[in-house]
Amino acid sequence: MMRDLVLRVLGKLLIPFVLLFALYVQFHGDFGPGGGFQAGVITAAAVIFYAIIFGLPAARRFAPDRIVESMIAAGVLIFGGVGVFGILMGGNYLDYFVLAHDTVHGQERGIFWVEVGVALTVSGVMTKVFYQFAERRRVVDEA
């Protein structure tokens, strides 16, 4: 696909909108269908689309392994941290009502941060799995 000019131009035009759509799905998840999992998959799909069009080395420059692995860890820490913070504030694990002065605001904050953690983890895992499979194919082809 490196020589296909139409795909390269369309890819450069569409990928920012795909990432913007992922943000929309992430932030709209409180009010309708969507949320962290869907936003994470859409983000990973944008990186995979980039890798298919521009090649795996370019995708690894766009989203390096170190960043992808950090996203996985950060997402799990955010998710777990919300639960632990709830315990420290006097509630149960993932009891959101203690996260703010008002129970409704606590619910909103808790759900928001849990969904951010899920989005980071899902996006990182999906991208890392793609990198591993794509690299495996390259090694098998060279042998």
Say how far apart CA 19 and CA 43 lie, in whole Å. Answer: 6
Domain tally for the chain? 1
Predicted local confidence at residue 2, as pLDDT:
64
List C-alpha distances in Å: 141 to 55, 58, 120: 15, 19, 32
Tell me the whole-structure pTM to 2 decimals. 0.85
Q: Quick check: 61 and 131 in contact, CB under 8 A?
A: no
The pair of three-digit structure tokens given for residue 44, joined into one six-digit string: 């990973």
Predicted confidence at residue 138, as pLDDT, reads 59
Query: Between residues 11 and 137, which one has the greater pLDDT?
Result: 11
Choose between 7 and 68: higher pLDDT.
Answer: 68
- pLDDT for position 35: 86
Residues 6+ apart with CB under 8 A from 134: 51, 56
Query: Does the structure show a pLDDT above 60 at 51?
Result: yes
Which domain does 80 fall in, by range? Answer: 5-142
pLDDT at 101 over 60: yes
